[in-house]
Amino acid sequence: MSEFSAYFESWESKIGAFIDYHWPSAFQGPSLPGQKGGTTATSSPMEALPFAVKDNIAVQGFGLTCGSALLSQFRPSYTATAVQRLIDAGAVPIGKTNLDEFGMGSSCDTSAIKVTNNPWDLHRVPGGSSGGSAAAVAAGLVPFALGTDTGGSVRQPAMFCGVVGLKPTYGAVSRYGLVAYASSLETIGVLADTVSRARDVFAVIRGPDPMDQTSRSVPPWAPSLTAGDFSSTPRRRIGVLSPEAVERAVAHAVAQSNQTILRSATLEPEVDRAFRRTQDELRALGHELVEVDVPTLRYGVPAYYTIATAEASANLARFDGIRYGRRPEYAENPDDLVTQVRSQGFGPEVQLRILLGTFVLRSGFQDRYYLRAQRIRGAIQRDFERLLGVGPLQDAEAGESGDHRRVDCILMPVFPRRAFGRDEEGLSPFAQKAADLYTCGANLAGLPALALPVGVEEGLPVGVQLVGAAFSEGLLLDLAQEYEAAHPIQRPSLFKSYWG
């Protein structure tokens, strides 16, 4: 344990992934039964594995800051269902990780608690909002961590840090114990060092929960989560979302003068190169790749931010200094109390999103913004359904030939850029939002998506994502694990593997 403690402290002092952590006294270090993935008949793959939890998910015994000054002293009185299931399976929560305040951001830099750095380059961001979880896994401090994904907040930091990120189907994992930001979009997700680990964790945390009415059982037709022999698994038909087509569509939808949005849709050369190479590598594994289009995705970002901010304005109303939040020394009246708490407690990005959400829900503006965004959301959902279907593949359909047959999953970029810096070459807050183009679609449609590292370009990791039909996580994991076996995930320098 002492060697690992030194390793842990050395990394943590540089990357600042954790807001709070403590190793249980009973924890004997990484060399415990189960660390190799459960080698005995009775052991669970989770047995004695430490894990980290994004600090917007409740774990009794730890704080729950949500990266906000407003909740810096808050202690939850219960543990989230997803965390409790992991504890019941033998895993050990050892800390809470940094995040953008209330999950609102793509860099971890909107956290009011601390700064988190990318293990690959300490001058760059780890991504967000689950940046602390991604950085902790990438540095090998924990084998896996829980994050949350509202518009890409698991997948984008997974790509920036070179780890696996799984955003499950909406409803597959209970949200009980997650501090709500945008309830109809967000899911608890997994960041893991390997695809196999992500599979093990997801198998434990998924399933219905009476404490969350939006959670549901896995349908009987859903692909199995049991990893098989990849040499005998069927070759897949993979749709490829062409970034060029997306760029053209975005250019059509927004004013040509808005260069920030147009630039945000364009892949930087390193990301583009890795994306094309991945297509070749998947073909080499025997899969069929066909180009697909999701035309309505060009409206994805504005629709996503309209809905997310509207829901945020309602969900964050509870942080009023009465129900939640630290009270000021003095207030004239209850209205003044609430206003003081929210004005001083929320950071600028959270305030901006609450203002936007309040505005789009104001009388007279609902039709123009919120209701239109909901219609676009329905259209995006239909576009994905057209490509992926909504249930088991029918025999007749499986035998159909031609380009109209649906695909097993869709391959697309995660984010147009690799991890960006905090200097003048970084991304503005608006550019970061516009770059959610490739991730927010899965949230709007409630579909599972898996971010997978596919290489390192100029010293920084690049990833791609696979989006599947609802409850097709097993299929996505099989495909990703097959790819990982042929192209092992690369790690940052000074990384040591303690977790088997």
Partner 1 sequence: MLVDDLKVTARLAHIDLDEASLGAALPAFEQMLDYFAAMMAADEDGALREPTVSTSVVGYCMGPQALRSDVVNNQISENNTAHNNPSNNNPNSKANSNLNNPNSNNPATNFTLQNSLLNSAPDVNGRFIVVPNVL
Catalytic residues: 54, 129, 153
Residues 475, 483 contacting (CB under 8 angstroms): no
Can you say how many angstroms the Cα of residue 116 is from the centroid of all Cα atoms in its chain?
17
Q: Which of residues 204-243 bind partner 1 (CB under 8 A)?
A: 213-214, 216, 219
Single residue of 43, 60, 242, 258 touching partner 1 by CB under 8 A: 258
Site mask, partner 1, residues 308-337, x = CB under 8 A? -----x------x-x-----------xx--
Single out the residue of 83, 159, 192, 354 in contact with partner 1 (rule: CB under 8 A): 354
Give the sign of the dihedral formed by CA 377, CA 380, CA 386, CA 392.
negative
Q: List CB contacts of 272: < 8 A, sequence separation 6 or more.
A: 243
Q: Which is nearer to partner 1, 106 or 313 (CB)?
A: 313
**By CB under 8 A, residue 446 contacts partner 1:** yes
Q: Contact 286/305 with Cβ under 8 angstroms?
A: no
Minimum Å distance from CB 338 to partner 1?
5
Short-list 116, 10, 52, CA closest to 493? 10
What are the DSSP E strand ranges found in 325-469?
Answer: 409-413, 449-457, 460-468
Query: Is the separation of the CB atoms in 446 and 147 below 8 Å?
Result: no
- Cβ at position 313, least distance to partner 1 in Å: 6
E runs forming strands in 74-228:
92-97, 144-149, 164-167, 187-192
Binding mask 460-479 for partner 1 (x = CB under 8 A): ----------x---------
Query: Is there binding between residue 438 and partner 1 (CB under 8 A)?
Result: no
Residues 400-418 as b/e (b if ≥16 CB within 10 A, e otherwise) read eeeeeebbbbbbbbbbbbb
Q: Considering beta carbons, is residue 378 or 426 the nearer one to partner 1?
A: 378
Q: What angle do CA 43, 45, 46 make, to 5 degrees?
A: 100
Per CB under 8 A, the segment of 191-199, 255-263, 265-273, 282-290 that binds partner 1 is 255-263
Least distance CB 210 / partner 1 (angstroms): 12
Contact with partner 1 (CB under 8 A): which of 197, 199, 287, 342? 342
* 43 vs 258 by CB, closer to partner 1: 258
Q: How many residues bind to partner 1 according to rule CB under 8 A? A: 68
Work out how close the CB of 89 gets to partner 1 at its nearest, in angstroms, rounded to a whole number.
25
Q: At what angle do helices 473-486 and 269-284 cross, to 10 degrees?
A: 90
Told to check if 82 binds partner 1 by CB under 8 A, we report: no
Stretch that binds partner 1, among 11-19, 27-35, 252-260, 405-413 (CB under 8 A): 252-260
Q: Three-state SS string across 186-199, please?
A: CEEEEEECCHHHHH
Length of the chain in residues, anyone?
Answer: 500
Listed in sequence order, the DSSP H helices in 421-469 are: 429-434, 440-445
Letters for 171-210 (x = contact with partner 1 by CB under 8 A, - = none) are x------------x--------------------------
Binding to partner 1 (CB under 8 A) within 477-496 occurs at none
Q: Are 63 and 97 a contacting pair, CB within 8 Å?
A: no
| Packing angle, helices 300-315 and 372-388, rounded to 10 | 120
Q: What DSSP character marks residue 121? A: B
State both tokens at 327: 């009270």
> Is the Cβ of residue 242 or residue 358 nearer to partner 1 in the bound state?
358
Binding segment for partner 1 (CB under 8 A), chosen from 102-110, 220-228, 278-286, 339-347, is 339-347
Give, in degrees to the nearest 5, the angle at Cα 121 between 476 and 494.
Answer: 85
Radius of gyration of the chain (CA): 22
8 A C-beta contact, residue 416 and residue 438? yes
Q: Which is nearer to partner 1, 36 or 318 (CB)?
A: 318
Chain centre distance of CA 190: 7
**Of the candidate residues 18, 102, 299, 483, the single one contacting partner 1 (CB under 8 A):** 299
| Contacts with partner 1, 358-387, as mask; x by CB under 8 A | xxx-xx----xx-xxxxxxxxx-xx--x--
* Closer residue to partner 1 in complex, CB, 201/442: 442
Residues that bind partner 1 (CB under 8 A): 169-171, 184, 213-214, 216, 219, 252-255, 258, 261, 295-296, 298-299, 301-303, 305-306, 313, 320, 322, 334-335, 338-340, 342-343, 346, 348, 351-352, 354-356, 358-360, 362-363, 368-369, 371-379, 381-382, 385, 390, 429-430, 433-434, 444-446, 470
